[in-house]
A = this chain, B = another copy of it.
């Protein structure tokens, strides 16, 4: 009996602080984003479902070759402030992931099916490339140009981990040819021929 009282005393004495003390900070996505993340939901409104993402499934493939299912803080608000996020990707036979970077996020690829050639180029222009399959993990250091190709028979699928809740994606082709960046500036700063630029501007619906 004494034990019970003791524990209750122990508990009560810390009750006030526990109200505020947080084991977690579930994102209140409607609150304003700060450099440190989203504000925390009030403890009273947190349920088990804030810790679960239920749609981490392969999406309907788009017309061509790929499906991409993000589990970022916007989908799984328990990731708030944790510094990483996830995605699930499926790439049909022959599919290609064009040259791109993730600003400020390392990418870890965990293939779950197929054969995938993945590579990145370091800032001293060395190519690090490997064909990976189920049972491998590949790490792309943050910010570097990288790409991938489904080189096997059938689909390639993978789970991705990004070292950021806010993984953003910059596709070189879309930046250069899908934007309104003046073609002459593209030419001068990429050394590409103007005809090549015009052709890709048409393809990617850029202007300028």
Taking CB atoms and an 8 Å cut-off, the chain A residues in 19-47 that contact chain B are 20-25, 28-29, 31-40, 43, 47
Partner of A169, one of B18, B119, B140: B18
A169 touches B83 (CB 8 A): no
A74 touches B179 (CB 8 A): no
Beyond A22-B166, A121-B181, A196-B192, whether A55 also contacts B144 by CB under 8 A is: no
Inter-chain contacts of A73 with B (CB < 8 A):
20
Answer yes or no: A70 CB below 8 A from chain B CBs: yes
Beyond A39-B32, A55-B135, whether A144 also contacts B170 by CB under 8 A is: yes
A138 touches B51 (CB 8 A): yes
Inter-chain contacts of A96 with B (CB < 8 A):
6, 188-189
Inter-chain contacts of A191 with B (CB < 8 A):
3, 98, 173, 200, 203
A145 touches B172 (CB 8 A): yes
Oligomeric state, in copies = 6
**Residues of A contacting B: mostly:** mixed
Inter-chain contacts of A205 with B (CB < 8 A):
4
A163-204 vs B, CB cutoff 8 Å, 1 = contact: the mask equals 100111111111110111100010011111100100110011
Taking CB atoms and an 8 Å cut-off, the chain A residues in 58-90 that contact chain B are 59, 62-76, 78-84, 86
Nearest-neighbour CB distance to chain B for A93, whole angstroms, equals: 13
In the bound complex, CA of A43 to CA of B54 (Å) = 28
10 additional contacts, CB 8 Å, given A2-B64, A23-B143, A127-B180?
A5-B64, A10-B62, A10-B98, A11-B171, A17-B72, A32-B39, A51-B130, A54-B135, A84-B84, A101-B143
B10 touches A137 (CB 8 A): no
A104-117 vs B, CB cutoff 8 Å, 1 = contact: the mask equals 10101010100001
Inter-chain contacts of A142 with B (CB < 8 A):
103-104, 143
In the bound complex, CA of A13 to CA of B14 (Å) = 38
A5 touches B72 (CB 8 A): no
